[in-house]
Amino acid sequence: MSEPNPPRRPLATFLRPHAGSQADADAAPLAETSAPSADASQVTADDTAQALVDPVAEAAAMAGEVPVQASATISAQVPAAAAEPTLSQAEPVFLRGGGHRLRTPRWQWAMVAALSLLLLLQIALADRARLAADASTRPWVAGLCRVLRCDLPAWREPAAFTMISRDVRPMPQQAGALQVQASIRNDARWAQDWPVLRLSLSDADGRVIGSGVFEASDYLGAGARTAGLLEPGQSAQIAFQVKEPSASTVAFNFEFL
């Protein structure tokens, strides 16, 4: 008795695994394209999973079962360092601690110092009259004028003049006229111009009956222009005539202005 022929399998049964394999093969490039940032280790894992799935699908096709497609998906996780730029990469180059810093050349600092010194010298020369009138600033202003050959106003300190001797007496040849003679000395630290004198006349009761202010031209006469300055410690004699305001004049007083 002959054995019955086994039933023939449809052709679709033999083609189904190949279709699934082709679909998986087509899906693999798409997966690789959709995740371009995956590294070499992830691509190797996908290839291994695909190699394991294909034999299972072929065995199921031979048994007449519907193959179950298994897929291994490895999520590509971008490292935090690559996803977000660090502060040193995001900030501008000139703000980075290790960036190149421009340094000012030394000759520029020297030029700034020279210009500042020149400005101070110009201010001192323009205001030398006021600076020369101060005892604390006059020495260096005087030294500056000696170097630059500039004119410096004479020191003026009336309180530094000292009256060494004085005498007021009537003139015998002229009635109502008084002859004034005095000796003065400059006790200041610097040379001074000749002082301005104030002479006050008083009666027996101490009342001022007359006064007058006398410049250097009044008590030096024609020699006032060539008299120059009174150096420190230098003394000089002065003499001049005044009109007596009253016959009751008995006292006099000198002041330096």
pLDDT tens digit sequence for 38-50: 444 444 545 554 5
Q: How far is CA 119 from CA 2, 107, 108, 140, 146, in A?
A: 131, 18, 17, 16, 19
Q: What is the pLDDT of residue 91?
A: 56
Q: What is the pLDDT of residue 108?
A: 85
219 contacts 196 by C-beta, under 8 angstroms: no
Q: What is the pLDDT of residue 40?
A: 43
Name residues of the chain where pLDDT drops below 70.
Answer: 1-101
Cα atoms in the 13 Å half-sphere on the side-chain side of 130: 4
> pLDDT (tens digit, 9 = 90+) per residue, 4-43?
556 666 555 555 554 444 544 454 444 444 444 444 444 4
Residue 55 burial (CB < 10 Å; 0-12/13-18/19+)?
A: exposed
Q: What is the pLDDT of residue 124?
A: 76
- Torsion over CA of 226, 229, 230 and 236, rounded to 10 degrees? 20
Q: What is the pLDDT of residue 181?
A: 92
